[in-house]
Structures are given as structure tokens and as C-alpha cells.
Chain A
């Protein structure tokens, strides 16, 4: 059964200058890394609605990180900011001199989050890793990640102690979010508020029957930089779990892949070029380049820039319709416009006939995937 349009509140937080708006602009507005030098500090909250495929809208809250704003989010705007959050992306600047203070702020944010949106997923990005010598990156990241994990665990344990009702099943009558209600104090009415839906409200089971989840927030850490593909790896993971109907996409990609004897198929969202889904044959899976998915995003995104510069068309416009490459007896591949909201990359064994028939079959498979373009149309087969 296909699910309807999903809206997700995504908080983007971290100290001022840590790189939040830069990342957002690169991923969703097609900025080049060097263009981000022109960004000014974000004042209060910069809200944007990003349509991702036909049936997911990200309400991206880019929260300006200057101290006064941060205090305000934690006090006056607390409920308004931290309620109904699907995902929190917290950004640490690896170059920051005052690590203790950064962590203290982080702890406050996590406390507020678990208080109001205890099922929110948390992604921590240790950012600007390009400023660390390549040889030391892994160590620097691991040690910082360790500290963040520990702090997170401590914070959650502490909140749980202070507010034991959060874990007790008794309060669960109204579903996880209702239970929290509007929170302490009435936050000012905000126009965006009507749009918020918590993902859990769409789960199959009625909320009351669902087991009360652990308070322990699920957390993932990434080392990122706007200067390489690491950014795409982190953001693809962030959106991955938010995409509706993922299992249908995966099944259909797999049938397509086997039908055309491909080695690998990647499905990209057309504007961000984030990998929505991927499939590899057992042979394709032996590819030693584990970072190839984010690399392909990065390569194609910068290729899009090149084309845009050359044609003089807007950066967000469609830039190329078809790209094919045959490397002799080695492999063949093509990247082509697929559905309205997606591009598809197919990598396969060499051979003219195989290549041509794969192209035809991919074109023929478009209708199976039409549901990616909107919530209403059901896939015609399978």
C-alpha cells in the first residue's frame, strides 16, 4: 500500500559559523562550495520547504547559531522549536576552539529534544574536516565522536531520571507526541505549526497499541566537509529513512536490475542528486569503492554546475538528459532522466546489444516508478 505525502520537520542546529546554511545551500539549492563564503549569519530561524520526490516535504528549520538565538530556542521558543521534530541535524565545527562550550550547548539541545520529540532521529555532523590534515582525519573524528556519544548518553540518562514519566507506558494513551502536548507554557501560535505531522501518526498500528519506544534517541555521526563527497554520504543517510515507500522502490529496482543484467543501479533525486535508493548485483557488490554512491552524487552534481554555467540556464534547472559511457571491454554505463523527480544511473557489463536493450528496458520501466512523482498514482504493475 502506498503512503501519502509525508511532511517532516528537520532541525538544523549548531554553533554560528559551523556550516549549517552552507550545507543546506549546497545540497538543496545547488550552491558551489566556494559560493558559501558569501553566506551571512542566519538570523533566527530560516525556514524552507523542500519538496523531495513527489511525496515527501522536508520542513527545514535552519536555526541561526549565535548564542542569543540559541538561548531563545531553549527558553521562549522551546516548545515551538522542539515539538514534532522528525530529525535533528547537529553540526560541530571541528576547528572550534571552545569544545567544552559547544558540548554544553549540544547537551541543552538534546535535553530539549528528548523532552518534546523523543522519537526524533539525531544526526551529528563533525564538520569542516577538510581543515584537518588528511592523515589525521580518522583519529580526530573518532575521538570527537566518542565524546559526543558519551555526552548524548549521559544527557538522555539524566533527562530520564528527572522525568521518569517519559519512559512509563502509562502516559501513552494519546500516542507519543500527543502525550507531550504543547509542552510547558503556551508557545506563541505559529503559522507553520498546522503543517506538522509526526511520522508515527502514520504508522500501521494504532498508536495506543504500539510499544512505547525507548527514550534513547537513535543517533548517527558523520565526518563531513563541503569540499568533498562526505557531505553527500551524510545527507543521503539523513533523507534515506524519511523517503516513503522505500521498500517498494527497492523491490522494483531489484527486478529492473536483474531483468537488464545490470551490475549496479542508483536512483537519484533530481535536484539534490542524493541517492534515494540503490541496487547492486552480487558481482557489482564486489566493487572495492565503498564510497562510490556519494562520489557519484558529488560528480554528477558538479557536472550539473558545469552544464549550467555553459548553457546559462538556472542552476536548479534540468541540465542534461542523457549521459552514456562505454569503456571498451571493461564496462558500460548510462545516467539518464528517469521519472519527473529522478535520474537513474545504470552500470553494466560491456556489449552493444546489452547496452541498447538495457536503455529500452529502463525507458519501459518508467511507469513502475511513476509513484515517485506524486502520492496518487499507483504503480501499474508488480
Chain B
């Protein structure tokens, strides 16, 4: 799905706008995905009164703006919003609809929003999150999705708008669906996604991996995968793997050991500095599923990214060779992101291989 709609490169950070009715779940979504709030604790969130702007430093710097539900930016008698300031540097508009509530008004407002945007900012991706679908049956979920889609398309074609970039996602903060949906949204903002995907596809072939994902560790959003068909089950186990590693790291790796600890570790019989005792300076992990001896591996790429892959049955003994191949790909990935980072820097012309031009 690389480059579904061309992303106009503008200056600054891509921005995700969260909009929708009050209590539809916008703040819950941004707290769960971007601030690791346990989903059940969203019950205590207070209603958002003003636009909540979050800046996230990750493999790609972006912003998340959470809009209060009661404000309609296109129809506000009190004061007008500076539309360019909101939509000028956009990544995507995420519109949240509460599937457990009556959604007619939400759909009407969404239609109105799409029409406005089509006039001024037609390149903006509109991502509709049909939200809170936990507890709804699969059939019912699809019914709602169909109903919402038809209501929007009918209205748009009545107004003469065709092919507006509107996508639908069924989401809940109580399972992986919200992370999956965000993954899709973010992937559309990555320049040269196809090249990333090709790197992972290659890796899968040389290492006999079944599936490989590149994760943004902090948000558990996957920013690329290989070209085998999408598979929710693989995504879930790999994403939970990242969780386990984060938890282990917090408990055992986030505090400073006393100096004597280091002295002891470097003393006889090892007699070496810690750095020369280790094989890899980044985090690496392997795990074997009991049923078929199927291994899963994880390798940190940089401060933000980790590669997670499910291997074929019984390939645990090939780990040394696998690790060598993974090392090569990791180097490639690091280069890739150095280049794209520079490209997204203000002033650099889109599409030009910037080399070492930009900097920050």
C-alpha cells in the first residue's frame, strides 16, 4: 500500500488531528497509544476543554492534536479558526465515531468536515475510526461500518465529490486494533515506504522468516512489514513481544547499578571491560514457542525502532547466521532513516537525495 495518496512534503512535523463528538474516545485513544495509559484507566479522563497538542519524538517527529468534541471548527459563531494553521502542515485527520452510541450526528458533522476540506485541502487523508467496537459482535461491527460508509459516500456524491481520500478502521483501546489502525495511518506518511518494505521482504527470504515487522517501540505502531499478506495474529504476538521487552527493560535495565557491581563484573575470571564482553550493544532477544519449536526474535535498530520477526519451525539452531543477516539489514535501516530524516527537514527539496545537506 505504498504511496496510496501522494504526501505533499511541507515544512515541520506531520500532524495527526483527532476530531469527533464529545466522549467518542479521542483523548482515550491518544493517551493509550502515545502515553501508555492502561485502557481501563481512561474511565478517569476528564473532558478535553481546549486543543491538546502533543509533540512526539520518534523515528519521525510528529504531532498529535486532540480537539475538544464540542467545538465545531467550521461552524463557530464565537471566533474563527485559522484553517491554514490547523490544516496547513497536515499528516492526517482522524475522525472518531462512537460505535456504541447513536452516530448520526457524528456522521453529519464528519460529512460537513470532509466537504470543507475537499475545497481547501484535498490532499488530506481522512481516517474514520469507528471506535469502541469491543463488546460488539463481528457481524454488527461490519453492519455499522457498511452503514457509515454508505452514509458518507452518498452525501459526498450528492455534493459532487468523488474519490475523497476517506478510509475506515474498526477500533478499540481494549485490544490491538487501535495500534493497527494507527500503523496504517502513519505508514501513509512515511516517504519511500516501498523501499522499507522491500528491505524487510528481502530479509524474510534470506533468513527464512515467516513475517517481519519494524516497530516504533514507544507506541507499538508498526511502520513497515514485508510483502506477505497481512496477518493480525502475527502482528499481535510481535507487538506483545515488544511489550514484554519494554517491561523487562524497565524493571531490570532502567536503574543505575552501583560502581562495585561493575568492578565485580569486570574482575577475574572475565578480566575484560563490559563492552568487550558483549556481542551486541543493542537489545536483542529470542524466544521459542513450545508447540512447534518456532522461534521469534527481536533486535533493536536504534533508539526508537525494533525489528521483530517470526521464524520458521525448528530454525533456532541457525541463529548465528540469522543474526549476521539481521545485522546487515539493521545497518541498511539506519541509513534509510538518516536519509529520510534529512529529507523532511525544512528547506530541502522533495525528492532530491539530500545527502548530508540538511542536518538539524
Which chain A positions have C-beta within 8 A of B278?
A: 326, 328-329, 350-352
B334 at the interface (CB under 8 A from A): no
Whether B44 and A333, one on each chain, are in contact in the complex, defined by CB atoms closer than 8 angstroms, is: no
Q: How far is the CA of A194 from the CA of B238 in the complex (A)?
A: 49
Whether B287 and A320, one on each chain, are in contact in the complex, defined by CB atoms closer than 8 angstroms, is: yes
Report B's interface with A, CB cutoff 8 A. Answer: 38, 40-41, 44, 174, 233-234, 236-237, 240-241, 244-245, 247-253, 255, 257-258, 260-261, 264-265, 270, 274-275, 277-294
Grouping DSSP codes into helix (H, G, I), strand (E, B) and loop, the A interface class, with mixed when no group exceeds half, is mixed
A292 at the interface (CB under 8 A from B): yes
Whether B253 and A320, one on each chain, are in contact in the complex, defined by CB atoms closer than 8 angstroms, is: no
In order of increasing CB-CB distance, the 9 nearest A-B pairs are A351-B277, A325-B285, A306-B240, A349-B265, A310-B237, A311-B291, A323-B287, A283-B261, A328-B281
Known: A228-B38, A329-B275, A333-B248. A309 touches B44 (CB 8 A): no
Known: A133-B44, A303-B244, A328-B282. A322 touches B252 (CB 8 A): no
**8 Å CB interface, A246-269 against B:** 261, 263-264
Whether B283 and A327, one on each chain, are in contact in the complex, defined by CB atoms closer than 8 angstroms, is: yes
Q: Which residue of A lies closest to B43 (CB)?
A: A131
Q: A350-B277, A352-B277 are in contact. List 10 more A-B contacts (CB 8 A).
A: A134-B41, A134-B44, A288-B255, A295-B251, A313-B291, A320-B289, A325-B284, A329-B281, A349-B265, A350-B278
A202 at the interface (CB under 8 A from B): no
Write 29 A-B pairs (CB below 8 A) sorted by A numbering: A133-B44, A264-B252, A287-B252, A287-B255, A289-B255, A292-B252, A299-B244, A306-B237, A309-B233, A311-B289, A311-B291, A319-B291, A320-B289, A322-B286, A322-B287, A323-B287, A325-B248, A325-B284, A325-B285, A327-B283, A328-B283, A329-B274, A331-B252, A337-B290, A347-B252, A351-B270, A351-B278, A353-B277, A354-B270
Which chain B positions have C-beta within 8 A of A195?
A: none
Whether B289 and A289, one on each chain, are in contact in the complex, defined by CB atoms closer than 8 angstroms, is: no
**8 Å CB interface, A207-224 against B:** none
A47 at the interface (CB under 8 A from B): no
Which chain B positions have C-beta within 8 A of A300?
A: 244
A318 at the interface (CB under 8 A from B): yes
Inter-chain contact count A-B, CB under 8 Å?
Answer: 135
Partner of A351, one of B250, B255, B265, B284: B265
**8 Å CB interface, A341-355 against B:** 347, 349-354
Q: How far is the CA of A59 from the CA of B230 in the complex (A)?
A: 46
Partner of B40, one of A130, A286, A354: A130
Partner of A320, one of B174, B236, B252, B290: B290
Q: Which residue of A lies closest to B285 (CB)?
A: A325
Which chain A positions have C-beta within 8 A of B277?
A: 350-354
A350 CB to nearest B CB, Å:
5
A97 at the interface (CB under 8 A from B): no
Q: How far is the CA of A344 from the CA of B97 in the complex (A)?
A: 46
Whether A327 and B40, one on each chain, are in contact in the complex, defined by CB atoms closer than 8 angstroms, is: no
Which chain A positions have C-beta within 8 A of B233?
A: 309-310
Known: A228-B38, A309-B236. A319 touches B44 (CB 8 A): no
Which chain A positions have C-beta within 8 A of B294?
A: 311
Report A's interface with B, CB cutoff 8 A. Answer: 34, 130, 133-134, 227-228, 261, 263-264, 283, 286-289, 292, 295-296, 299-300, 302-303, 306-307, 309-311, 313, 317-331, 333, 337, 347, 349-354
Whether B253 and A322, one on each chain, are in contact in the complex, defined by CB atoms closer than 8 angstroms, is: no
A272 CB to nearest B CB, Å:
17
A231 CB to nearest B CB, Å:
14
Whether B38 and A227, one on each chain, are in contact in the complex, defined by CB atoms closer than 8 angstroms, is: yes
Whether A283 and B257, one on each chain, are in contact in the complex, defined by CB atoms closer than 8 angstroms, is: yes
Q: How far is the CA of A326 from the CA of B264 in the complex (A)?
A: 19
Whether A289 and B44, one on each chain, are in contact in the complex, defined by CB atoms closer than 8 angstroms, is: no
Q: How far is the CA of A327 from the CA of B237 in the complex (A)?
A: 20
Q: How far is the CA of A132 from the CA of B237 in the complex (A)?
A: 31
B45 CB to nearest A CB, Å:
11
Known: A283-B261, A321-B288, A324-B285. A351 touches B248 (CB 8 A): no
Which chain A positions have C-beta within 8 A of B275?
A: 329
Partner of A307, one of B41, B237, B249, B270: B237
Which chain A positions have C-beta within 8 A of B251?
A: 287, 289, 292, 295-296
A181 CB to nearest B CB, Å:
48
B129 CB to nearest A CB, Å:
21
Q: How far is the CA of A330 from the CA of B284 in the complex (A)?
A: 12
A354 CB to nearest B CB, Å:
7
Which chain A positions have C-beta within 8 A of B287?
A: 320, 322-324
Which chain B positions have C-beta within 8 A of A302?
A: 240
Whether B245 and A325, one on each chain, are in contact in the complex, defined by CB atoms closer than 8 angstroms, is: yes
Whether A318 and B253, one on each chain, are in contact in the complex, defined by CB atoms closer than 8 angstroms, is: no
Which chain B positions have C-beta within 8 A of A133?
A: 44
Q: Which residue of A lies closest to B310 (CB)?
A: A310
Known: A130-B40, A134-B44, A349-B261. A303 touches B281 (CB 8 A): no
Q: Which residue of B lies closest to A293 (CB)?
A: B251
Q: Which residue of B lies closest to A135 (CB)?
A: B44
A187 CB to nearest B CB, Å:
42
A352 CB to nearest B CB, Å:
5
Q: How far is the CA of A175 from the CA of B44 in the complex (A)?
A: 53
Q: Which residue of A lies closest to B273 (CB)?
A: A329
Q: Which residue of B lies closest to A288 (CB)?
A: B255
Which chain A positions have C-beta within 8 A of B291?
A: 311, 313, 319
Q: How far is the CA of A313 from the CA of B278 in the complex (A)?
A: 36
